[in-house]
Structure 1
Amino acid sequence: MPPRRAQTRAAATQQAPTAPNETQSIRGFLVSMMSWMECQEWRLTEGSTPSIQENMGTLLKEFRHVNPPSFRGEPDPMVEDRWRAQLEKIFIVMGCTKEQKVTLAIFLLDGEAEQWWELVSRSAKPGAMWNWRAFCDWFKKKYFLSNVRQKKVKEFETLQQDKMTMAQYKAHFVELLRFASHLIADEDLKAQRFKLGLRGVLRSHAVAQKLPTYDEVVDLALVIEADLEDQLRDKDQRRDGKGKKKVQYPRPQHPLPRSQQ
């Protein structure tokens, strides 16, 4: 049996695997692709390295340990956007290369999304889809239609707090801002748009303070909301205290002494 180092050196000279054919599963293709990437890394470093299977297993083990979300091809662009954003955070922590990002992202595709990828990868040029930016561009074209994006932009422009709490309003604001970032050129515009969506007294206080940054507006609104809730709670307690009537219990009737009967 040839030594492992010789096997690795020989494998490093192989060409990158092509897109999966009709008889090859996409997961089998991913195994081949990851093996090839590990070989190329060894070829560049010319140093000792664990076996391909060990490296691949370690990467997948670390990735699955953080419980990454799968994607089944939901038509909701918010689901697609959150999925990619969560993966980006995981990739930063793991220090993944561009090729590893694509490989791990494909590993999470399921259902309709996995079928879509199989069709796309067969028609694309060899190696064209193994760049993270290119993968995201293809992904957006499929699951993030322009008319849907315009709908989200319009929703951001008309967003109002209404009955939402400050925490809920802030979360919705940040989520929609991802689709309308081109409308917010600087921190001041971001703060102004957030203030316009606040309800009633919160907006009045925020506008009066003329705070320049988004974070300052959010902090002020949270403080005011908490104060208003405390005032309302105290008012309810006082009203409940005044509204309660003292219960009058009947006095016990003791029998008279025999001498007074």
Structure 2
Amino acid sequence: MARRQDQAIANALQRLADILERNENHANGRAQPQVQVAEEGEYQGLNKFLKRNPSQFKGGYNPDGAHLWIKELERIFGALQCSENQKRLENEGREINWFTFKEIFLEKYLPKDVRNKKEMEFLELKQGNMSVGEYAAKFEELALFYLPYQAAGNERSKCVKFENGLRPEIKEAIGYQRVRDFPTLVDMCRIFEDDHKSG
């Protein structure tokens, strides 16, 4: 089973590397990109994704590099507003969704002790002296290590966790509204904080 997972990761990484290499060759005038869309009207955002110059992960023992690589891809997916279906990878005729790929990837390239430490840091995270923006950035960075929040349908518990870590005055002002969309929640907290500072 572990060997099949390793192979799936290797194949998916190779596919990403091949796509990136084709894009680089195209940019340098050496070849035309060979990225094709299965049907007319299907999502055609791969070129937009590649224009953001995602870095390549070379493998080996590099926990921080693995984490940053996943974080960078997540940021690009977010900027392009990719749906879960648009993040799927194909491996030997099988589709692998992003959550599964990320879970297997992090298991392989982030040692368990490092993940456990980061997970504990996430679970204990509080806003403290950070601004809402800084707290949200740290929250999302560490949330990558807490896989239950990466699955679809866990937005509610993610929002509850974020709220619970806020400073009391922000938590009190925002909490009663029961916002369960994470970006909206962060924006509301940021606006409250800015208004409170200038008030």
TM norm structure 2: 0.53
The residue number in structure 1 matching 2:165 is 197
**Given the alignment, which residue of 121, 135, 138 partners 1:169?**
135
* 1:222–1:65 CA distance, 2 compared to 1 (3 A): closer
Cα distance in 2, alignment partners of residues 85 and 197 from structure 1 = 22
For the residues of structure 2 that align with 1:59 and 1:149, how far apart are their CA atoms?
37
Distance 1:189 1:136 in 2: 20
Aligned partner of 1:253 in structure 2 is none
Change (3 A) 1:186 1:85: closer
| Structure 1 counterpart of 2:66, from 68, 77, 80 | 80
The letter for the 2-side match of 1:68 is P
1:209 counterpart = 2:195 = no
Structure number with greater Rg is: 1
Give aligned pairs, total: 148
Would the alpha carbon gap of residues 197 and 141 (structure 1) be closer, same or farther in structure 2, given more than 3 Å must change?
Answer: closer
- Point out which structure has higher relative CO (alpha carbons under 8 A, 6+ apart): 2
Cα distance per residue 1:64-90 (max 9 Å; x no partner): 864332446685634313314545758
SS in 2 for 1:162: coil
8 A contact 1:152–1:176 mirrored in 2: yes
Going from structure 1 to structure 2, the CA distance change for 1:97 and 1:213 (only over 3 Å counts) comes to: closer
- Give the 5 Å matches for 1:60-79: 66-71=52-57, 77-79=63-65
**Per-residue Cα deviation, 1:182-205 (whole angstroms, up to 9, x for no partner):** 168633222211111111311221
Q: C-alpha separation between the residues in 2 aligned to 1:186 and 1:138?
A: 19
Partner SS for 1:58:
coil
Counterpart for residue 230 of structure 1: 198
Paired amino acid for 1:160: K
Aligned to 1:247: none
TM-score, length-scaled by structure 1: 0.43
1:148 aligns with 2:122: no
Cα 1:81–1:56, aligned 2, differ >3 Å: closer, same or farther?
A: farther
Tell me the distance in 2 between the aligned counterparts of 1:137 and 1:144.
Answer: 10
RMSD: 4.4
Deviations 1:132-190 (A, max 9, x none): 99997885455211121111111111111112111111111122222213168633222
CA contact under 8 A between 1:74 and 1:80: conserved in structure 2?
no
Relative distance call for 1:173 and 1:137 in structure 2 (3 A) is closer
The secondary structure found in structure 1 opposite 2:129 is coil
Contact between 2:139 and 2:162, CA under 8 Å: does it hold in 1? Answer: yes
Match of 1:218 among 186, 190, 196: 186
* Secondary structure, aligned partner of 2:31: helix
Matched, 1:159 2:125: yes
Gaps of 5+ in 1: 1-29, 35-54, 100-126, 232-261
